[in-house]
Amino acid sequence: MSCTPGQPCAEGVKRRRALAVLGVMGLIFIALSAASFLDSRGQVVPSNVRYADFGAVEGKRIFQAYNCMGCHTIVGNGAYFGPDLTKLYDKVGPAWLEAFLPSAGSWPAAGAVRLQLQNKAIATEAGVDTIEAYLDKYPGAGERIQRRGGHPTNMPNLPFTREEIGELIAFLKYTSAMNTEGWPPKPKVDGLRFPQATPLPVAAQATATAAVAPPGGAPAAARVPVSKVALGETLVKDNGCTACHAPTTQKLVGPGWGGLYGSTVQLADGSTATADDAFIEEKLVKPDAKVVAGYAAGLMPSFAHVLDADQIGAIVAYIRSLKESKP
Ligand code: HEC
Ligand code: HEC
């Protein structure tokens, strides 16, 4: 296009106007690009998130090292074998995760979560220190305990150390705090009738409520006169021992109990011990005093403030009754 001689010509003006608009657009583009790199948009960054003594940055490395994303989705990435983990920390809270991760092959029962709340650091992170208040604050934990507590899961037991568990929880705390604009979406299953959409039967309710009863008020099962061995068997279920220990020689997270009583145990410090009453009693109260060779220290929780002397006696009697047997 060019100007016709003799006609008024506005081409220069139009060109300058177009260049000015282009310039303004360019400035807006540069400004917005810069803004997208600013941390100050209120989004959390992993280096600022800590869970007790553990950092979310280390947790992200552990998450990658164990290839959790090979089975789980998180923040929109990963595989669909396991459930999405992005907002899990908000739903189930730290004490449930502390109870679940070391023995992921089994869903924690109420006793295992209550035990974690005895730990000051965990109770501080949770913001509550009784199991009742905890289940109110984190309804996802109560739902899991009721529906599946004490039952096996489809997730393998992974050989975590104490630090790795804390770091993973720090990482999940971070992803929970992220603003994901509503991701993952909540599935709408209300009104659907096919079996997969209806909740599982309340499997572990009896055990869950028995275990929630305060240590003073004996659970219903314990009021009926039962043999010491039978009481011990109930106690190891209610307190979550069976998530880590099998009654046979099978190794789960910890050694199997079959044939343990009276045997000679190799300890991590190179010495040996006889698995008698005193050994098992000490194991329950000071679990890291004598650590079994081939296992990590710090995984077995202390039951010092949970089990009284009679209950410990019943557990010892139960373990003593277990003969060596293959799973
Ligand atoms: C081999 C596959 C696999 C791997 C690897 C795996 N998981 Fe899982 N995980 C599962 C499955 C399957 C479930 C659900 C179990 C069920 O419903 O029985 C699950 C459940 C969970 C849950 C409970 C979720 C809920 O909503 O209750 C958490 C937490 C979890 N996994 C964390 C992890 C972390 C952290 C890692 C990596 C360190 C990991 N998982 C690695 C398969 C896996
Ligand atoms: C989170 C997993 C976990 C839970 C829950 C747990 N333990 Fe353990 N336990 C371990 C591990 C790991 C070891 C081996 C390392 C060690 O000695 O600390 C172990 C070791 C033991 C031993 C010594 C076994 C041997 O072969 O010498 C006994 C006995 C024992 N636990 C009893 C119990 C009882 C009873 C409970 C419940 C009141 C319980 N544990 C709960 C993980 C657990």
Task: Report d(CA 217, CA 249) in Å as an integer.
Answer: 34
325 or 80, which is more confident?
Answer: 80
Tokens 């009784």 belong to residue = 130
Task: Report d(CA 150, CA 111) in Å as an integer.
Answer: 10
The string of pLDDT tens digits covering residues 29-87 is 999 998 877 755 678 899 999 999 999 999 999 999 999 999 999 998 999 999 999 99
Task: Report d(CA 245, CA 256) in Å as an integer.
Answer: 5
Q: Who's near 176: CB < 8 A, 6+ residues apart?
A: 86, 87, 88, 89, 90
Mean pLDDT to the nearest integer, 193-212: 54
Report the share of the chain in percent with pLDDT over 70: 89
Say if residue 286 is exposed, middle or buried (CB neighbours under 10 Å; 0-12, 13-18, 19+). exposed
Q: How does residue 18 score in pLDDT terms, banded at 50, 70 and 90? A: very high
Task: Report d(CA 275, CA 320) in Å as an integer.
Answer: 9
The string of pLDDT tens digits covering residues 267-301 is 999 999 999 999 999 999 999 999 999 998 999 99
Residues within 6 Å of ligand 2 by CB: 102-103, 236, 239-241, 243-245, 253-255, 260, 265, 275, 280, 283-284, 287, 291-292, 295, 297, 299-301, 303, 315
Query: How far does residue 170's CA lie from ligand 1's centre (Å)?
Result: 16
Q: Which ligand is nearest to the CA of 72?
A: 1
- Among protein residues, the one whose CA lies closest to atom 26 of ligand 1: 83
Atom number of ligand 1 nearest to Cα 160? 38
Query: How far does residue 167's CA lie from ligand 1's centre (Å)?
Result: 16
Q: Is 168 a pocket residue for ligand 1 (Cβ < 6 Å)?
A: yes
| Statement: residue 320 has pLDDT above 80 | yes
The string of pLDDT tens digits covering residues 87-130 is 999 999 999 999 999 999 999 999 999 999 999 999 999 999 99
Query: How far does residue 254's CA lie from ligand 2's centre (Å)?
Result: 5
Query: How far does residue 19's CA lie from ligand 1's centre (Å)?
Result: 57
Mean pLDDT to the nearest integer, 20-37: 92
| Residue 179 burial (CB count, 10 A) | 10
